[in-house]
A and B are shown apart, each in its own frame.
Chain A
Amino acid sequence: MSKKPTIELRTSPHAHAGEDVVVIMRNVVYALLPICAFTVWQFGISALALLVVVTLTCLLSERMFNALSGKPSSLGDWSATITGLLLAMTLPPGFPLWMGAVAAFVGVALGKAMFGGLGMNAMNPALIGRAFVQAAFPVAITTWTPAFFDGRFSQFIPTTLTPPFLQPPAVGDWISEVTVDAFSGATPLALQKFEGVVTDHMDMLLGTTAGSAGETSALLILAGGLYLAARRMLDWRIPVLVLLSAAVTAGIFYMIDPAKYPDPLFVVLSGGLMLGAWFMASDMVGSPVTPLGVVIYAVMIGVITVIIRLFGGLTEGVMYAILLGNAATPLIDQITQPRVFGEQRAGK
């Protein structure tokens, strides 16, 4: 034979499904973008600035830790971008930018880099970042501003541009300036918890209420989640079971005392449960790999969320529920090893 081919040797299998980490992560970003866009439309340039600052800080931190650990840049895997977008969406739209940057840095540093980067982190980095600022800046993170206020595309929410290391100003006066109706500065969850006012379900579904930057439109979150689930880049069982178990838990209390407890649909649509269930609880790295483990994990998150909401001091419990679920994942995985084909177990 005249031509001499270069023979390449690989071990079997010699075929691959072709979908790699980058493709999956990039699609998660795609799924998040409509929610980001809606947030910006809803809250204006403050939300945009928050998204940009938080995401850029995540990327810079990630790159910095790459450099410190002598590894090649991992920005190309899009995971830091996802952390940034998700983190920004869990913060109030008028959250001071410098605090957002702190949350982003802490999330990447303590939540991810410290464990060894992508795949090694025990918990969701975005939520680690948020938990840190929740503890550090309890006032700022519960300062809500109304959606769709006039002039949102020309002026920042006063708190947004708080200089670094200073506390944000009070926004009560500003809110009464920009809104026609009386706005109590409360999210649907706070309204329900402290004042017993139940927000219209349709408003929450469409996202016209106050709330964290990206958690207000249940519909867009659902659409993004379903897109990923359809492409099998997200385990649909996790969000479905989180929402279902939250609804069932809430439903039990609602049946006991409808006047005191919110109805299940309200629980599912309000706060960060939708975003948390679809985009954070389902984070592959922090969730179990075994089929039974996934069920335990998801139900645990759903139930804990509702318990915190109904009986805790906080209005929202999704974040801690997911972090607890993440923490329990290694244990859940260990005790739920699937029955191997042909394995004889007692009673089978």
Chain B
Amino acid sequence: MGLFNLLFGQKGFTHGIHPPYHKDTADKPIRRLPFPPQLVLPLDQHIGKPAIPLVVKGQEVVRGEPIAKADGNFSVPLHAPATGRIAGIELMPTPKGPKTNAILIDVYEGSTQEVLWEQPREMSELSPQEIIQAIQDSGMVGLGGAAFPSHMKLSIPPDKQVDTLIVNGCECEPYLTCDHRIMLEHPKALLRGIRYAMRATGTEKAIIGIEDNKMDAVELLKSHLSKGSPVEVKAVETKYPQGSEKMLIKSALDREVPTGGLPADVGVVVNNVGTLAGLGDLLPKGRGLIERVITVAGPGIAKPANYLVPLGTPIRYILDYVGYEGARTEFILGGPMMGPAVSALDTPITKGTSGLLVLNEPSIEEESHKIWPCIRCARCVSACPMHLNPSMLGQLAAKRKYEEMAEEYHLTDCFECGCCSYVCPSNIPLVQYFRIAKAINREQAA
């Protein structure tokens, strides 16, 4: 148990890091971004099977209309974010890396912001099973970045019992403030979404976990709750990676998800605030997920802010709109700790994109990126929230002992939060080593 916990009597996760948070956009209200001329909508924005297109080239679609259907249970549909004409289905770059099939929509000039396709429903009449179905139909996925289909997450396996819904409002990644703004601007939708999720999962208690650098959100949400409400707001320590599921469950409930297990194994289901606020807004109206809030920030952005962006907006369009500088830059989708760097500016914003960061770091060619040998300083060991031994893992990786890494040193428990690489004074790309090791182990197993 860390010193903080001892001093303040809190039960939090131990280890972790305190990077500079750069939450400069916390006071920037969410603004709507205009439609780009063309939207790029990959069919696999979520984890699971890609959606199946329902449209053909040349077809007209209206804002909100389904354009692709879910392929079975482990999949979600896709809806048109703007009124326009289908320009085709082509291979396009995605945040994940390889190009995948995407539906292209040429947006009509002056396309309305009004959603033209919806199926309003009376939520109180729905059974838990029907709520789950409604969630799948909305195309909702984990908006925190994982993009895991929400209806899957809220479907509790029959052999598991859950008692608590944890609502993740930590937003522990530096720069990002979109969840913070959603909590401040849409508390009612969030609380509605929490009620739906509680009904869907049969949980009787909900805890909204918020890092204590967002006390305004904590106070606001508390003021919306009546006495005796099953929903509790809990301020947790501001520490990366507090927003990781396992860490937040530990901090909020002092329960440890077993190795290789799921939150349901300790009676918990976790959802992001953005996701639940989205459900609270979409479900009663019977609409699909067509836009999301992202934080556009970083040293290379002239005017950092939070934007409500139509899904499929190419980042080139956003950058042109907000203005950025730097001839030699890195473009990150999501936060700086876990977000991928994009290789093409045609890459669109997808359901799992929580931010667009422009970092003007020193160039890769510069000396500051020199990699030194491991000096066994153990900083990584005291940073790893999973209590792994990244130093040892890194040395094994250098010797390509990938199997030993998994069997003896718990490689599979690493969720690539980046704490070890962040603190490493030798600049060893530990997380990258571990990704490679996992990939090779997967290949060996297959």
Contacts and interface: CB of A to CB of B under 8 A. Distances in A.
Contacts of B387: 338-341
Contacts of B319: 1
Interface in B331-353: 331-332, 336-345
Interface string A1-13: 1010111111111
A342 B385 CA distance: 11
A300 to B, nearest CB: 17
A14 B425 contact: no
B259 interface: yes
Contact of A21 (B20, B361, B413, B426): B426
Nearest to B343: A9
Contacts of A135: none
B47 interface: no
A13 B259 CA distance: 24
Contacts of A8: 328-330, 341, 361, 363-364
B293 interface: no
A162 to B, nearest CB: 36
Given A120-B373, A341-B246, A11 B429 contact: yes
A282 B256 CA distance: 33
A131 interface: no
A10 B391 contact: no
A147 B254 CA distance: 59
A342 B359 contact: no
A6 B391 CA distance: 33
B246 A7 contact: no
B422 A17 contact: yes
A319 to B, nearest CB: 20
Residues of A in contact with B, size category: 35 or more
Contact of B421 (A3, A13, A21, A294): A13
B422 A6 contact: no
B259 A340 contact: yes
Determine which residue in B13, B343, B377, B416 has the highest number of CB atoms from chain A within 10 A of its CB, and name it: B377
A119 interface: yes
The SS class assigned to the B binding surface is loop
Interface size class of B (residues with CB under 8 A): 35 or more
Interface in A6-49: 6-17, 19-21, 23-24
A31 to B, nearest CB: 15
Interface in A323-348: 333, 337-344
Nearest to B373: A119
Nearest to A116: B373
A11 B434 CA distance: 12
A19 B327 contact: no
B374 A15 contact: no
A290 B341 CA distance: 33
B261 A342 contact: yes
A13 B418 contact: yes
Contacts of B343: 7, 9
A341 B338 contact: no
B343 to A, nearest CB: 6
Interface string B421-443: 11111110101100100000000
B386 A340 contact: yes
Given A285-B375, A289-B389, A10 B328 contact: no
A19 B432 CA distance: 19
Contacts of A23: 425
| Residue among B257, B342, B416, B422 with max Cβ neighbours from chain A (10 Å) | B422
Nearest to B395: A119
B125 interface: no
Contacts of A13: 336-338, 418, 421-422, 431
A342 B414 CA distance: 12
A12 B364 contact: no
A58 B409 CA distance: 37
A185 interface: no
B308 to A, nearest CB: 23
Contact of B375 (A17, A118, A235): A118
A339 B387 CA distance: 7
14 contacts: A8-B341, A12-B332, A12-B336, A15-B418, A17-B425, A19-B425, A20-B425, A21-B426, A24-B375, A118-B373, A289-B381, A291-B382, A338-B388, A341-B250
Given A5-B327, A9-B343, A291-B382, 12 more contacts: A11-B431, A15-B174, A15-B336, A17-B425, A20-B426, A119-B372, A284-B377, A285-B376, A338-B389, A341-B246, A342-B256, A342-B258
In the A-B complex, list the 7 residue pairs whose CB atoms are closest, starting with the nearest.
A13-B418, A119-B373, A289-B378, A14-B336, A21-B372, A284-B377, A341-B386
Interface of B: 13, 17, 19-20, 174, 246, 250, 256-261, 316, 319-320, 326-332, 336-345, 357, 359, 361, 363-364, 368, 370, 372-379, 381-382, 385-389, 391-392, 409-410, 413, 416, 418, 421-427, 429, 431-432, 435
